[in-house]
């Protein structure tokens, strides 16, 4: 394993030497060394990572890796081996420690500086104290310079410390000069250290010379640096820098380095501010494209993303050689910008980058689309971004992972939306179907519910009187006197003024006089009048049926809709049809059919309804039980009782009256008879049940009570009585059931008979 | 078609005017018709008539113009009796006319659901034909024409 890692590291070092701008190679090398290298490899790993970051500042994961390396290096770093002159005495250390404490709190009384001077007085080569003194005074103590003049490592340590102060800026309350001044200040120290064979100083001077455009001096230092030791610490970096310095493309032919090289050099020194200064400030439309890219890189490196974005976008819009790089840089930066910052991105640049098949641009646009609610568009762009990213990105392009996660999230969301939409549609469909079912159910209920008259009569016999009255009215008033005239139009040779005016009336075969053309009244007009005045016969049927329906409701029964009632509905339908035909002047054939139905099936239907009336069979047993009931009631009330005799002309007789009504009629007749003979010592009561044909040929059944009372009683007397008592109840029930009361004398020992007759 | 001399006169007994109007209109060329709305009027116009055309139900006739089974005009009758008399008034009038010796052939326009009753009436009130509403005007005319032929 270790062997393979070393082999890979060697291959990568070769790769970065051959192509120093290969960010991926630097990245891979840095990660291998950082991950698998030991403490001794930490410095090389950090340099590789730094190179990668200078090329691709967006690889934020490398920053994290560098932080880890710093900790590891500090933990495993062998103690510095400065020269003897740099070793402070214990007293000097003590002074310095106290001085630091005072300086840390602002050194209000100047004691910190005094202690620092005492430390340096005791140990002039005390580098840390000298650097702190420089920070406070802006000057290097001469005694220190003198003490270190032959101590190369000590001088380099002093120069490094001072340079670092210059790089990190001037702390408040200090007198550190500008970075360039610091560079000028430490340059002699670096030169002296190099002269004393400190290769670190040589490498640093090479970078510094490159930054100032001293390509030759930088190359010399790099060559000397690489040649001095077989495997110097910054070998790969030095080679890369030398290659770039010698790159004819990057060379301008003048003394100045390219902006990118300048930036990279400064960034290799971790000096982004210096890089910015070297590059000449901010990004504007007038800034050259390569400088815009370089400025973008530096800002990107320093994590000033908004500024970096502007630089890249300007470079992209400027076009030219830097335009393509600008598109790529802008797209990659936008892809990793926070959502809020991304909204500020230049859409035109992103669109151009997407058109140039830059996956990061598609992802950035996908994010914007998603933020604007266009999920489908966002998903499509994300998929496109991932397609473009395949094989064209490294693991440092974290937007790819984000895009994959985004694709999954958006797919899930769209699927959930689709499911929700489908569920809503299904729900709406189901609701619609349910509503339709309810409506159809209501319509069906309205259409199909209810009883026919025949069924209603079977369930509620008490409805019969209403039905019988309705049937009688329809047969007499509608069918007989009005609809009967339809037969005149049903005859095949019937003519009228509303027929063909050119038709010559034929002599009637049956002798019926026909209406003459031009006469004031014609057959059709008469029939029309009969069928429609004072109101249409169909309307009369409907009104009669409405009355029946109300009566049925009173009995707890709902009748069907008229059009579905087999008897009255059929009559109504034919009458309505006939009325319509009369109004439209249609031919006669249908009148014949209607007339035939009215005289045949419809008449039979009405007669059939009358035959559905209730029948209550009266025989001796039934009468005895009814008598016993009345007797019990009378005795419990303390009244007298005269046992009635029974007189039945037949063993049993059916009465066209509902059982309860007939029982009530009998009970009241009997109670009336009993009351009439109260006080008579020889009072007589007889129950007579008879069936006979009256003078009109009509069969009647009668239920009557004879008594021996002497008090006269007439129908008029009964008619005058108020309802609700005794014979008035009988009167009303008999009338209800289409019967009539009789009061007539009877043979002795009886005086009269009071009873009820019902036609069969 | 038919001369005035040869026309037969029929008395129509009905509580309205439906029959007489219809018959006059469609059979007026062949027959004469006179209407009677109650028993009294029937008696007044019976002379010279060739026949009687009787409606059955006189529900539109006032109670004091109805006759009962005995041919009497009741003074005051209860509603049930009035209805009973009205429902069979045509028969009662014919019965009373027969009782007074009127033997004219008669047609009773009635839908009698009881065929036995029809036979009873045709037997006891002969000459009588009970014509149900299934008979058309042509059938009725044929019955009347038969009467003329018989004469």
Say what the pTM is.
0.51
Instruction: Tell me the average pLDDT across A166-180.
Output: 60
Q: Which of A47-51, A257-261, A323-327, B38-42 has the lowest mean pLDDT?
A: A257-261
User: Rounded CA gap, A430 and A257, in Å?
Assistant: 75
pLDDT class of B47 with cuts at 50, 70, 90: very high
Residue A250 above 90 pLDDT? no
Place of tokens 């008592």: A725
Q: How many CB atoms lie within 10 A of CB A43?
A: 16
Cβ-based contacts under 8 A for chains A and B = 105
CB-nearest to B92 from A610, A693, A696 is: A696
Cα→Cα distances A645→A237, A460, A673, B44, Å: 143, 33, 12, 50
Do the chains contact at A718 and B78, CB–CB below 8 Å? yes
Q: Which of A64-68, A73-77, A672-676, B63-67 has the lowest mean pLDDT?
A: A73-77
User: Rounded CA gap, A580 and A560, in Å?
Assistant: 24
User: Rounded CA gap, A23 and A27, in Å?
Assistant: 6
Do the chains contact at B29 and A475, CB–CB below 8 Å? no
Torsional class of B109: left (φ above 0), alpha (ψ -120 to 50), beta (otherwise): beta
Do the chains contact at A699 and B118, CB–CB below 8 Å? no
Residue A507 above 70 pLDDT? no
Among candidate residues A158, A148, A159, the one with its CA nearest the CA of residue A127: A158
CB proximity list for A138: less than 8 A, separation 6 or greater = A174, A175, A176, A177
Instruction: With beta carbons less than 8 A apart as the criterion, state whether A746 and A733 touch.
Output: no
pLDDT tens digit string along A616-660?
Answer: 999 999 999 999 999 998 888 887 889 999 988 888 899 999 999
- B44/chain A closest Cα distance in angstroms: 23
| Bridge partner list, B109 | B55, B131
Instruction: Indicate which of A697, A700, A716, A755 best probes the interface with B, i.e. most B CBs within 10 Å of its own CB.
Output: A697
Instruction: Give the sheet arrangement for strand B51-55, strand by strand.
Output: B31-36, B8-13, B51-55, B106-109, B128-131
DSSP string spanning A675-738?
Answer: HHTTT-TT--EEEEEEEEE-TTS-EEEEEEEEE---S---HHHHHHSPTTSHHHHHHHHHHHTT
Q: Considering only CB atoms, which residues of chain A are within 8 Å of chain B?
A: 475-476, 479-481, 484-485, 487-488, 491, 507, 510-513, 521, 526, 599-600, 603, 607, 610-611, 693-699, 715-716, 718-719, 731, 734-735, 739-741, 760
Contacts of A507 in chain B (CB under 8 A): 1
Place of tokens 């709190």: A105
**The predicted structure's pLDDT at residue B52:** 95
Residue A371 above 80 pLDDT? yes
Instruction: Give the sheet arrangement for strand A685-693, strand by strand.
Output: A645-648, A685-693, A699-707, A752-759, A740-745
Residue A395 above 60 pLDDT? yes
CA closest to B24 among chain A residues: A513
Residue A701 above 80 pLDDT? yes
Instruction: With beta carbons less than 8 A apart as the criterion, state whether B102 and B46 touch.
Output: yes
- B5/chain A closest Cα distance in angstroms: 17
CA closest to B25 among chain A residues: A513
CB-nearest to A719 from B25, B26, B78 is: B78
Q: What is the DSSP letter of A451?
A: B
| A757: three-class secondary structure by DSSP | strand
Task: Identify the sign of the CA torsion A696, A698, A699, A700.
Answer: negative
pLDDT tens digit string along A551-564?
Answer: 999 999 999 999 88
Contacts of A694 in chain B (CB under 8 A): 69, 88
Contacts of A475 in chain B (CB under 8 A): 111, 133
Q: What angle do CA B33, B34, B37 make, to 5 degrees?
A: 135
CB-nearest to B26 from A475, A512, A603 is: A512
Q: What angle do CA A177, A181, A187 make, to 5 degrees?
A: 125
- A740/chain B closest Cα distance in angstroms: 5
Instruction: Indicate which of A597, A602, A696 best probes the interface with B, i.e. most B CBs within 10 Å of its own CB.
Output: A696
Instruction: With beta carbons less than 8 A apart as the criterion, state whether A120 and A134 touch.
Output: no
User: Rounded CA gap, A233 and A229, in Å?
Assistant: 9
DSSP string spanning A294-314?
Answer: HHHHHHHHTT-HHHHHHHHHH
Please tell me chain B's helix, strand, coil percentages from 3-state DSSP, rounded to the nearest 5: 40, 15, 40
- A688/chain B closest Cα distance in angstroms: 20
Do the chains contact at B27 and A513, CB–CB below 8 Å? yes
User: Rounded CA gap, A277 and A271, in Å?
Assistant: 10
Q: Which of A89-93, A402-406, A506-510, A571-575 has the lowest mean pLDDT?
A: A506-510
Q: Give the tokens for residue A565.
A: 């009632």
Residues in chain B, overall count: 151
Q: What is the DSSP letter of A369?
A: H
pLDDT class of A523 with cuts at 50, 70, 90: confident
User: Rounded CA gap, A162 and A49, in Å?
Assistant: 25
Instruction: With beta carbons less than 8 A apart as the criterion, state whether A1 and A8 touch.
Output: no
Among candidate residues A545, A504, A531, A541, the one with its CA nearest the CA of residue A591: A531
| Bridge partner list, A700 | A692, A759
| Bridge partner list, B13 | B36, B54
User: Rounded CA gap, B136 and B138, in Å?
Assistant: 5
Residue B128 belongs to what H/E stretch? strand B128-131
**The predicted structure's pLDDT at residue A517:** 42
Q: Give the tokens for residue B64.
A: 């004091």
Give me the phi and psi of A347, to 5 degrees please. Answer: -65, -35
**The predicted structure's pLDDT at residue A757:** 92
Cα→Cα distances B96→A346, A577, B33, B77, Å: 119, 43, 21, 19
Contacts of B147 in chain A (CB under 8 A): none
Cα→Cα distances A614→A135, A231, A464, A544, A654, Å: 127, 128, 7, 21, 9
| A37: three-class secondary structure by DSSP | coil
pLDDT class of A257 with cuts at 50, 70, 90: low
CB-nearest to A610 from B69, B88, B113 is: B113
Torsional class of A450: left (φ above 0), alpha (ψ -120 to 50), beta (otherwise): left
Residue A255 above 50 pLDDT? no
Among candidate residues A356, A352, A610, the one with its CA nearest the CA of residue A475: A610
pLDDT tens digit string along B85-125?
Answer: 999 999 999 999 999 999 999 999 988 878 889 999 999 99
The ipTM value here is 0.85
pLDDT tens digit string along B8-38?
Answer: 899 999 998 888 988 888 888 889 999 999 9
Contacts of A697 in chain B (CB under 8 A): 91, 112, 114, 116-118, 120-121, 124
Do the chains contact at A600 and B134, CB–CB below 8 Å? yes
Residue A665 belongs to what H/E stretch? helix A659-676
Instruction: With beta carbons less than 8 A apart as the criterion, state whether A205 and A221 touch.
Output: yes
Do the chains contact at A526 and B25, CB–CB below 8 Å? yes
Do the chains contact at B134 and A696, CB–CB below 8 Å? no
């Amino acid at each position: 394993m270790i062997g393979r890692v070393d082999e890979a590291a060697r291959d990568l070092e070769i790769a970065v030497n051959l192509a120093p701008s290969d960010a991926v190679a630097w990245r891979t090398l840095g990660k291998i060394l950082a991950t698998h290298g030991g403490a001794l490899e930490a410095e090389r790993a950090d340099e590789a990572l730094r190179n990668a970051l200078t090329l691709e500042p967006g690889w934020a994961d490398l920053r994290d890796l560098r932080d880890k390396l710093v900790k590891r290096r500090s933990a495993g770093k062998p103690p510095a081996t400065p020269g003897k002159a740099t070793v402070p005495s214990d007293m000097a250390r003590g002074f310095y420690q106290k001085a630091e404490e005072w300086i840390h709190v602002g050194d209000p009384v100047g004691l910190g500086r005094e202690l620092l001077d005492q430390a340096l007085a005791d140990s002039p080569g005390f580098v840390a104290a000298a650097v702190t003194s420089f920070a406070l005074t802006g000057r290097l103590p001469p005694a220190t310079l003198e003490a270190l003049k032959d101590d190369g490592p000590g001088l380099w340590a002093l120069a490094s410390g001072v340079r670092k102060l210059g790089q990190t800026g001037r702390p408040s309350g200090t007198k550190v000069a500008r970075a360039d001044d610091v560079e000028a200040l430490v340059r002699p120290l670096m030169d002296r250290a190099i002269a004393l064979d400190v290769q670190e100083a040589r490498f640093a001077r090479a970078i510094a010379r490159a930054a100032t455009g001293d390509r030759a001096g930088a190359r010399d230092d790099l060559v000397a640096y690489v040649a001095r030791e077989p495997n110097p610490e910054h070998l790969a970096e030095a080679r890369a820098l030398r290659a770039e310095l010698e790159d004819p493309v990057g060379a301008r032919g003048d003394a100045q380095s390219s902006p990118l090289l300048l930036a990279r050099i400064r960034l290799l020194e971790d000096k982004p501010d210096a890089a910015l200064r070297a590059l000449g400030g901010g990004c504007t439309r007038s800034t050259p494209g390569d400088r815009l890219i370089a400025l973008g890189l530096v800002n990107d490196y320093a994590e000033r993303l908004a500024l970096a974005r502007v630089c890249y976008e300007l470079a992209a819009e400027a076009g030219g050689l830097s335009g393509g790089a600008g598109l790529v840089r802008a797209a990659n930066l936008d892809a990793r910008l926070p959502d809020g910052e991304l909204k500020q991105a230049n859409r035109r640049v992103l669109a151009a980058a997407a058109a140039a098949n830059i996956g990061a641009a598609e992802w950035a646009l996908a994010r914007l689309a998603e933020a604007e609610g266009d999920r489908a568009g966002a998903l499509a762009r994300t998929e496109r971004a991932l397609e473009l990213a395949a094989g064209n990105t490294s693991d440092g392009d974290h937007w790819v992972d984000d895009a994959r996660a985004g694709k999954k999230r958006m797919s899930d969301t769209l699927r959930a939306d689709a499911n929700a939409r489908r569920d809503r549609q299904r729900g709406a469909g189901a609701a619609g179907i349910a509503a339709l079912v309810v409506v159809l159910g209501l319509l069906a209920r309205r259409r199909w519910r209810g009883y026919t008259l025949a069924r209603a009569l079977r369930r509620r016999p008490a409805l019969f009187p209403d039905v019988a009255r309705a049937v009688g009215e329809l047969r007499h008033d509608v069918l007989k006197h009005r609809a009967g005239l339809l037969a005149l139009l049903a005859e095949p040779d019937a003519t009228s003024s509303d027929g063909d005016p050119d038709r010559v009336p034929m002599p009637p075969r049956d002798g019926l006089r026909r209406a003459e053309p031009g006469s004031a009244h014609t057959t059709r007009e008469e029939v029309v009048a009969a069928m429609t005045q004072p109101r249409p016969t169909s309307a009369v049927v409907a009104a009669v049926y409405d009355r029946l329906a109300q009566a049925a409701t009173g009995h707890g029964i709902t009748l069907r809709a008229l059009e579905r009632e087999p008897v009255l509905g059929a009559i109504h339908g034919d009458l309505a049809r006939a009325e319509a035909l009369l109004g439209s002047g249609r031919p006669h054939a249908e009148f014949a059919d209607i007339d035939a139905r009215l005289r045949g099936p419809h008449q039979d239907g009405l007669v059939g309804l009358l035959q559905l009336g209730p029948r209550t069979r009266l025989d001796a047993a039934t009468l005895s039980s009814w008598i016993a009931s009345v007797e019990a009631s009378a005795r419990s009330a303390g009244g007298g009782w005269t046992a009635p005799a029974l007189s039945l002309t037949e063993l049993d007789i059916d009465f066209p009256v509902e059982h309860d009504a007939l029982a009530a009629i009998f009970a009241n007749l009997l109670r009336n008879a009993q009351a009439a003979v109260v006080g008579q010592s020889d009072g007589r009561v007889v129950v007579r049940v008879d069936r006979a044909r009256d003078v009109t040929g009509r069969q009647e059944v009668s239920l009557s009570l004879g008594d021996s009372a002497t008090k006269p009683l007439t129908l008029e007397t009964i008619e005058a009585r108020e309802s609700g008592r005794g014979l008035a109840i009988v009167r009303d029930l008999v009338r209800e059931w289409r019967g009539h009361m009789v009061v007539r004398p009877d043979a002795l020992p009886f005086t009269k008979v009071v009873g009820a007759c019902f036609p069969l | 078609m038919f001369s005035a001399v040869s026309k037969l006169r029929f008395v129509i007994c009905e509580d309205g005017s439906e029959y007489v109007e219809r018959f006059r209109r469609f059979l007026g060329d062949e027959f004469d018709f006179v209407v009677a709305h109650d028993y009294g009027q029937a008696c007044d116009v019976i002379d010279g008539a060739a026949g009687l055309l009787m409606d059955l139900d006189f529900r539109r006739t006032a109670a004091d113009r109805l006759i009962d089974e005995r041919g009497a005009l009741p003074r005051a009758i209860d509603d049930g009796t009035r209805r009973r008399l009205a429902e069979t008034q045509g028969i009662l009038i014919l019965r009373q006319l027969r009782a007074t010796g009127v033997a004219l052939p008669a047609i009773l326009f009635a839908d009698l659901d009881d065929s036995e009753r029809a036979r009873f009436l045709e037997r006891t009130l002969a000459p009588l034909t009970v014509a149900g509403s299934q008979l058309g005007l042509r059938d009725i005319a044929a019955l009347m024409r038969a009467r003329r032929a018989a004469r």
